[in-house]
Every structure is written in structure tokens, then in C-alpha cells.
Structure 1
């Protein structure tokens, strides 16, 4: 049987066997960039810990750590904080017994061309589509890490970028499979992140789009008009993180009661909890339990 020449074919990068750490890693879908692709190192934490500019803050402090670290493949990573303990909890809330653990929070830096495989083709098509609309600076940088590609986009240009990704014949990212929020309190000026995972069913490709907003102005354009699947996902991100999606048809809480104070998945949200009694024994809320440090 011959393929219909008018039907787009699945196009995934060639598989390769890693010959050295940090090269040719394969993601869960088998999309491995070709040899020579610039990727960040899997041993970032070691690189950051050994860097004089990054140190662990005193116990219980909220000190911001910001440093650029060059990993072993010359890609610049950015450390934005330090995580303490098993679950990142300081004080009496840490009941894990691992309060002495310290690890940096590191973002992979911008990757350099060639990205490898179809990543370059997609990046070129997106750049051409944005340039045609006068949005050459909409994408701030591109990160290829662990066999995945992420386009970091200015939040004011998110809708324009999403429209090109969806409608361009060379891209056809028709489905928004996931939209979620993340809170990085130490990432000054970019504390709130919104991450979109897009799927091209025509070409069997997946990409990630990421935008940021400061705590002081937590507004991001809604993409519901382009991707209806974002409706409840944006409501969840608002409910849990307090990210306001401008243009959403009904931005209301979806998990917590309407009068609930605050946004529970923010890292500055108090642990709190409800005492639990079971067979005569009482378990106090997390923030009232003893510390094993």
C-alpha cells in the first residue's frame, strides 16, 4: 500500500545511542535530537553546588539565589533558589527527617542551533510565521533539554504564538493536551509560570510553550478561544496559583469553595491542616508536628 502524498506523515528525530553523558538522551516518545544538538547537562545540581555564586541559605530563610552556571556542554543554566529538605519545607512542618538536604533549583539555559531532528524545522516555521505578523521578538529563547523542546514566549504575545502554532501548515499543533501553573518564589519578577503542552496529531510531535508573570501582576492571556480544552485547566491554575487568565469566559474556582482564601499550591501558602483522630490517637496538622532536624 502506498501512502497518500497529501497526508502529513509522522516525523520524529532519529534514534541514537548516547556516547557521552548529556548527549542523545531519548524522551518518553522516542524523539531524540540528532547528534550535535545543544542540550543541558543532566548533572546540573553538581555544577551549581560547586559554583561559588550559589550557596545554601540559613535554615528557614527565604534568601534568593540567582547565578548563571555553565554546564559541561557550555549551555548556561540559571539557578533561582535553593530547595531544603525532602519536600522543600522549612521549620516544624518538615517531618520527613531529611531537613538537612540542600539542592539548587535550576532552570536550563537557552540552547544553541542546531537543536536536532525536527526541532529546527518547527522553530524555523514558527519564526517565519511570527515574522510575517511583525512579532520577531515574541519568543525570548528556546530550550532543548532531555529530548524535549520548550519555547519561552512573552506573555503579551502568547495568543499570537499559539495561533501560528495551531494554524501554520508546517506546524499544526491542533491540541492543547495540558496547561498548568508553577510557582517559583525566588525567580524574581517571574514568580508565576504557565506551561502549555501542545500536540500535533498531523505530524505526531509535541512541544512545550512557557510564559511567566510576576506576583505583582499575575495576568496571562487566556487561550480558550484557540484551544477550548484550556477552559477548566485555566480555572484550576487560577484556583491553585492565583494566575488571572484575561479573556477567560468564566474564571471561577474549580476545586476549592468560592470563598476560599488564597491559592493552596503556591509555595508561600501556609501548610495548615486538620487534626485527625483515629482509634484514640490524634495526628496534628503538618505545621504543628515536631521537627526531626
Structure 2
């Protein structure tokens, strides 16, 4: 099943509004999905016998920059039996001045490996994943301040008396 077929399958199942757009200029085409629907879209792509995306290879948190005030998540899916890959993207506006973190639904209930990928995006970019079973830092110490992969990140000068370069 090709990219256009998958897009049609999703719009037939969820309606035209679930696919917000597509990016076809890169090495791997991507579908832009309505953020609140990402978990159910992923479940459909995993369980549908025509697609069977049984492997979540990567989740990446993205900070689109201070000027845009957008955060997103990129999902790289693979179907081992069909030898196909698909990239899904979600993004939303987030005012950096407000308290809390940008938030997206977790796909942990679809692929268990998402637990680790989502924890990494939380730890490094500061993205909250709703209904994640154990959202906490995975690479940095629990008391680390900030999220190092954000565009506005300022490294602390010292950590427990040790100079941070």
C-alpha cells in the first residue's frame, strides 16, 4: 500500500479533517495528522490488515523555534511484513510564557516501545504525553533544569558545584 493509498484509507476512516497536510519533498513523505487524533490514527495503522505498521522505530520531539512557538512530534513507523515505512507528524502552537508543557496524546497503548521514546522527547524537548504510564526523565538527572533541545535553552552554569560547559 503506497503513501496516497494510506492517506485515502485514513480519510475514509476518520474524515478529511484528520490529515492536515502532507510533506512529500523530503527523503520520506510524511502525513501531518490532527494532534488530538494521533493515537487513534496509529492504532488504525497498526491493526489494519492492509497497512500493519507493527513497529514504531522512533519518536522525535521538535521545537520549531522561538518565532513560530510551535512544538511537534515525529513518528517513524514500519511494517515489517509489508516492508514499508511511513512518517507521521503532529504539531501545535504553544505559548512559551505559559506554565506547563506542550502536550500530545501518548501512543504507548499502541506500541509499548513508545514509553521510552516519549520519555526521551519529554526529557530533552519538554513535551508532555497525555496518559503516559511513567513520564519522567530518562537521560538527564531528575533535578536537571530545563530541556536541552529547546531553541531557547540556556545551559546552567553549575550543576551540584560542577561547572557545566
Fold equivalence (TM over 0.5): yes
- What pairs with 1:201-280 in structure 2 (closer than 5 Å)? 201-216=80-95, 218-272=102-156
Q: What is the aligned counterpart of 1:168 among 48, 54, 58?
A: 48
Shift of 1:214: 2.9
Larger radius of gyration: 1
Aligned length: 156
1:236-284 CA distance string (max 9 Å, x none): 110111100000001011111111111111111114567xxxxxxxxx9
Distance 1:211 1:258 in 2: 27
Distance 2:27 2:6 in 1: 14
Counterpart for residue 78 of structure 2: 199
What is the SS of the residue equivalent to 2:44? helix
Q: Which has the higher strand share?
A: 2
Q: After the TM superposition, which of the residue ranges 145-154 and 245-254 deviates more from structure 2? A: 145-154
Q: Is 1:137–2:17 an aligned residue pair? A: yes
Distance 1:144 1:173 in 2: 20
Counterpart for residue 98 of structure 2: none
Aligned Cα root-mean-square deviation (Å): 2.0
Q: Is 1:121–2:5 an aligned residue pair? A: yes
Is the 2:11–2:18 Cα contact (8 Å) retained in structure 1? no
Q: Which has the higher helix share?
A: 2
Distance 1:147 1:126 in 2: 22
What is the SS of the residue equivalent to 2:24? strand
Distance 1:146 1:224 in 2: 27
Distance 2:137 2:12 in 1: 38
Shift of 1:121: 1.9
Gaps of 5+ in 2: 96-100
